[in-house]
Amino acid sequence: MPRENNGIPVLSRLPKIVNRSTKRIGRGYGSGKGGHTVGRGAKGLKARSKRHLLFEGRKVQKSLLRRTPLLRGKGKLKSHQGKSVIINLDQLNVFRANSVINQDKLIKEGLIDSKAVRKVEIKILAKGELKKALKVTLPVSDGVKKAIEKAGGEVIESQ
């Protein structure tokens, strides 16, 4: 900061501050946005709180909840499509070398639940290291395919 000879700053040479601080709404009249309604107008839904998630704006239209049959209560906005069951590459080391890995073998070994597999597909991802040559008949990622072939196994594409 520029100073005169006696150590007092020169006001004409102070740096200019461009940015103004934001108005803090509802913090009294001195804040610039204080007082009675605090910029929300008078009365109404938006003056009192936020509009709820399913607000559609008018009374005439039948609401979204009444238009979607049998989707009431908890979980109505969640996806009904299941997620795939993930198996990591290092979990396949429990099988013997040159064995064929399929859905039934994974259930028998206890790596996946039989109830969960009925709804969704199984996918093998490349977390960990494979130490045995295996023949895999399940969907795999590209990294897993390379790792299986590097270990001496193969990926059998199922149609």
The answer to whether 23 and 33 are in contact (CB under 8 A) is yes
Query: Is the pLDDT higher at 7 or at 29?
Result: 29
For residues 18-56, b (16+ Cβ closer than 10 Å) or e, as one string? eeeeeeeeeeeeeeeeeeeeeeeeeeeeeeeeeeeeeee
Query: Is the pLDDT higher at 159 or at 16?
Result: 16
Q: Is the pLDDT of residue 137 over 60?
A: yes
pLDDT of the residue at 83: 77
Q: Is the pLDDT of residue 159 over 60?
A: no
pLDDT of the residue at 5: 63
As a whole number, mean pLDDT of residues 95-111 equals 88
What are the extents of the domains in the chain? Answer: 23-69, 85-155
The predicted model scores a pTM of: 0.48
CATH of domain 85-155: 3.100.10.10
Indicate the pairing of strand 122-125 with strand 135-136.
unpaired
The answer to whether 101 and 119 are in contact (CB under 8 A) is no
